A = this chain, B = another copy of it.
Amino acid sequence: MTLAEVAAAAGVGESTVSRVLRRHGSYSGRTRDRVIEAVERLGYVPNRIAGTLASTASRLVAMVIPSVTNIVFTDVLNGIGGPLEERGYQAVFAVTDYDPRREESLVAAMLAWRPAAVILAGLEHTEATRRMLGAQACRVVELLDTDGPAIDLAIGISNRAAGRAGAGYLLGRGYRRIGYLGHDPFRDRRAGKRLEGFRAALAEAGRPPAAEMVLEGASSVARGREGLARLLAGAPGLDAVYFSNDDMAVGGWFHCLEAGIAVPGRLALFGHNGLDIGAALPQPLATLRTPRDAMGREAARLVLEDAPAQVLDLGFELIPGATA
């Protein structure tokens, strides 16, 4: 079923059908009705592959994200999706699993679809990835981080500032033996930058981290729970722990509950992200809310508006909660 067949059935030319279907150019009401009637009668579905090729203007947006099961990325996807769909754009995505080399090959695969924009997480990419992206006539959005040079558009927060803010809050509340528990800071560079900010703030206050533990693999509630048990076994005197994110922190809270550790009396807990689960805990988690949905929406907006290259820091909000 092609445009030409619809045109023949409606007794009009191909370009007329094309104009009617795209509501573009001029045509009479009578013509429009005949075309619509033929389209519905034949069950015609336009071929956007052909349309995109002919117009050489793609309405595809490629998203290359580290994980789909991490709510942080899906919140962003969610924010991007709406505005994009409204304007007739289609999202294509691929998952890197936090591997820069996989990201590189996925970006190459994505560019083959000639997307209007490519959306990535973070500012760290392989040299080849940056080169490919730079050579294409498409917008590039780097999300979730503003600590470093961007390729084109960057929208996020300063993770170093977030780490500093967490440390500052704990210091301000009087905690003095502060530990860190996190997941892999090399694969998740944003978590790594928070750790850097956290360390720097504590060092400047003359109270460097009393203990640090970094676990391999992705963050999870289970890892946070087991990790805190091990961290405390090695450093029983801690009075506060800064976690790499809320998942880990919720796991930590579970450990305290199980081990009978009073929170925040004997141990304060601080997370990052401001997830719903943290707020739903019987003791709301002290954390830092990141505007993930807004990042997605802003990304979509800047791309659709064809805004000039820029770095947009959306900031974060400290949520005191009840655990610190």
Contact = CB atoms under 8 A, between A and B. Distances in A.
A71 B68 CA distance: 9
Nearest to A47: B114
Given A95-B78, A222-B279, A48 B113 contact: yes
A13 B113 CA distance: 23
Interface of A: 43, 45-53, 58, 68-69, 71, 74-75, 77-78, 81, 85, 90-95, 106, 108-109, 111-114, 131-132, 135-136, 220-222, 225, 250-251, 254, 257-258, 276-277, 279-282
Given A49-B52, A93-B93, A68 B74 contact: yes
A94 B254 CA distance: 35
Nearest to A109: B90
Nearest to A91: B93
A38 to B, nearest CB: 15
A235 to B, nearest CB: 22
User: In the complex this chain forms, how many copies of it are found?
Assistant: 2
Which secondary structure dominates chain A's binding surface?
helix
A251 B279 CA distance: 11
B136 A45 contact: yes
Contacts of A58: 49
Given A69-B71, A81-B94, A221 B280 contact: yes
A225 B278 CA distance: 13
